[in-house]
Structure 1
Amino acid sequence: MDFKPDVSYGEVKAPNEDFIAAAGKQVMRFYPGETPWHRNWKKAFPAPYREVSFTDPAAGELHRADVHTPCGTTIEFQNSPIAIAELRSREAFYSKLVWVLNGKKFKGFRVLKNLPDVDDPKLAEYDFCHTDHLSMIRKNDFRIKGNGAKVLNFHHPELKRLALSSCYYSFCWKHPHRVWYEARFPIIVDLGGHFLYQLKHRRQISGDYSYLHMISRKSFLEQFGLGK
């Protein structure tokens, strides 16, 4: 699976702070009570991979990884958004990190339409429009006219021959958790079932376009030597 770290944008209002309890000169971070969703995910990994603790001597803290694999990747399972400061702290501490989010709790989140291959060279001179309807604009048109650029749907002669992929999707999220758009490491959304969705971002002159890359749960686990 292509875990390409993506950087996005947006100011974040952080809703939650982890409880911190003193333990001698160090600080152990305790996280909110685990849900069945957390436990079911952790059960997919061997016991030695789970709840692995690391010391951060510089900060005098102990970090507890939900899962840490032999390949050096830490996987954090999040049932709710976290504070931007906590996100940055974890991403600064772990060199290889994957976030898995419980998408069933997202409000107003829907997977929409199949997209063409977003990296297709034929699309190099086009930007996706930021709407629920699948459409594009020409980059040159946007440079001249800005938001007045002509919108092209996929019945337009320039686009109608493009094949739609089976793994890339547009989506809408009416009430997004902005903190996740700040993540530097891969974001995987779990909506239940056999498939997961990696949140990705296409760089565009008219504004970055966020989309979903569908992967199987099985292939996700196989990345870490499991489920083969």
Structure 2
Amino acid sequence: MHRADVFTPCGTAIEFQNSPITLAEMRSREAFYPKLVWIVNGKKFKGFRLLKNLPHPNDPKLANYEFCNSDHLSMVRKSEVLSDFIKPTVLNFFHPEIKGVAITSNFYHFCWKQPHAVWYETKAPIFVDLGGHFLYQMRTRKQLSGDYAYLEMISRKSFIERYVCLG
């Protein structure tokens, strides 16, 4: 038996999560609610912080590159990953190959020193609440060298318009 924290007029269940959750419990809730959205309290994540603004992760200019999973915003050439280079060349956004790629104001590179791995397994949309006027949707860019998690910032108003369906 599950009871959503919020059940909207358009049938979306919103779960606010302030404490750790097991993978089994998360999957149980996701199976129970066909339209589920998670909002997790990011202030309680130890070692979680926003680092830098990103270019749009699906920018066509980045098609031949992969983001590095490190604290520093950098990329490697996909061709070097495919060729099994032991240490692919690390490029920052001042490197001539990717210098012209525009950095956005709504995509973020983040660091999470002690991640709750369960949140990387969710099928439902997950939003991190760090306080303020914005939420951060956790997204994933599929890559050969391993998926790259990033955040997309959205306003609380946009979230309500999209998921609460008041009108």
Q: Please give the range of the TM-score, normalised by the shorter of the 2 chains.
A: over 0.9
Q: How many residues align?
A: 166
Partner of 1:93: 32
Q: Deviations over 1:47-77 (max 9, x none)?
A: xxxxxxxxxxxxxxx3211111121211000
Partner of 1:123: 62
Q: Deviations over 1:154-210 (max 9, x none)?
A: 111110001101100000000111111111111100011111111111000010000
- Secondary structure in structure 1 of the residue aligned to 2:3: strand
Partner of 1:75: 14
Tell me whether 1:206 sits opposite 2:145 in the alignment: yes
Give the whole-Å Cα distance in 1 for the aligned partners of 2:54 and 2:159: 21
TM-score (norm 1): 0.70
Tell me whether 1:163 sits opposite 2:163 in the alignment: no
- Residue 108 of structure 1 and its aligned partner are, at CA, apart by 0.5
Tell me whether 1:215 sits opposite 2:157 in the alignment: no
AA at the equivalent of 1:182: E
Q: Deviations over 1:19-74 (max 9, x none)?
A: xxxxxxxxxxxxxxxxxxxxxxxxxxxxxxxxxxxxxxxxxxx3211111121211
- Residue 83 of structure 1 and its aligned partner are, at CA, apart by 1.3
Percentage of matched positions with identical amino acids: 66
Give the whole-Å Cα distance in 2 for the aligned partners of 1:153 and 1:84: 35
- Secondary structure in structure 1 of the residue aligned to 2:2: strand
Partner of 1:109: 48
Q: Specify whether residues 222 and 151 from structure 1 end up closer, same or farther in structure 2 by C-alpha distance, changes over 3 A only.
A: same
- Greater Cα offset, 121-130 or 142-151: 142-151
- Residue 145 of structure 1 and its aligned partner are, at CA, apart by 3.3
Tell me whether 1:225 sits opposite 2:146 in the alignment: no
AA at the equivalent of 1:140: S
Contact 2:10 2:165 in 1 (8 A): no
Partner of 1:192: 131
TM-score (norm 2): 0.95
AA at the equivalent of 1:215: I
Tell me whether 1:174 sits opposite 2:113 in the alignment: yes
Q: Specify whether residues 147 and 77 from structure 1 end up closer, same or farther in structure 2 by C-alpha distance, changes over 3 A only.
A: farther
What are structure 1's unaligned runs of at least 5 residues?
A: 1-61
- Secondary structure in structure 2 of the residue aligned to 1:159: coil
AA at the equivalent of 1:185: A
